[in-house]
Amino acid sequence: MTDAIGFVHRTVLLQEAVEALAIKSDGVYVDGTFGRGGHSRLILSKLGPAGRLIAFDKDPQAIAEAATLQDARFTIVHNGFTHLAQELTRLGVTAVDGVLLDLGISSPQIDDGARGFSFRFDAPLDMRMDTTRGMTAADWLATAPEQDIYRVIKEYGEERFAKQIARKIVAVRAERPITTTRQLAEIVAGCVRSREPGQDPATRSFQAIRIHVNQELEELSLVLPQAMQLLRAGGRMSVISFHSLEDRIVKRFMKDAANEDDMPSRLPIRAADLKKPPLKVIGKPIRPSEDEVKANPRARSAILRIAERTEGPL
């Protein structure tokens, strides 16, 4: 698919993520990250006339793309998926049959230099997924304490040279504002003494600052319990992660929600009497095929996890 600005977008794990939802023709589904609509369009193709799809996105360009999707069964919400329960209540929806979350950043966001996500372009240092609200990366770097900058780059970017980068950012901003992607990339490059072959020195720092500016990990932690609570028994949760920290949150949440009561094994209690957990993990994690990675190298880090709502209490 080519978006309105001309960038090609390939939806990662398209068939696998939608098939994981086990779609019922009259079901109600949520696409928590519309993006350029690849998953949403496939979901709609599997729904009957009574089915319904509600999609969320923070990105105004994604909202513009969704406006071209003329389908009475489809509703787009310009908001982040952390507002899932609130927005569904507003729309009169109390339960759903499936929730799909495709996390991270989309190719059009990366490839549009003006968005400030990529060190490949010289552009304003923005990095917001929702350009209509919130603090830009430049704003944050201008005011954040050195320790906070270090923590973000170290934890979210897993960057070995985070301390040196944070110190240099604070030194440079005392002389001049850091307002462009090129400025930041050059600062980072001057601090990173070694890097994996083929990886730009700025990769980890840009990723870390983007995750922080958009509160991506915090929002993921907030949406997963909401999705579980909204799912009907038998409903599915299908989540694609692209970063080890994201996947860790998803894996831990699903595992914890699928654990039965932790009772001593020798107690005379029948399995039928144990409290049933609210989720059941479905299958093993799914990764893109070699063919998909060859066609779309950005898919290489993707991992899909699937869970199903049981009749167990929350």
List the binding residues for S-adenosyl-L-methionine: 37-39, 57, 81, 102, 109
Which of 25, 11, 13 minimizes the C-alpha distance to 97? 25
Radius of gyration of the chain (CA): 21
Specify the residue for token string 């990250």. 33
Beta strands in the chain (DSSP E): 28-31, 52-57, 74-78, 96-102, 231-241, 279-281, 303-309
Binding site, by residue number, is 37-39, 57, 81, 102, 109
Rounded-to-integer distance, Cα 32 and Cα 224, Å: 11
With a CB cutoff of 8 Å and minimum separation 6, the contacts of 141 are 125, 149, 169, 173, 178, 184, 209
- Contacts for 223 with CB less than 8 Å, ≥ 6 apart: 32, 81, 82, 84, 101
Q: How many helices (H) and strands (E) does the chain have?
A: 13, 7
Distance of CA 255 to the CA centre of its chain: 19
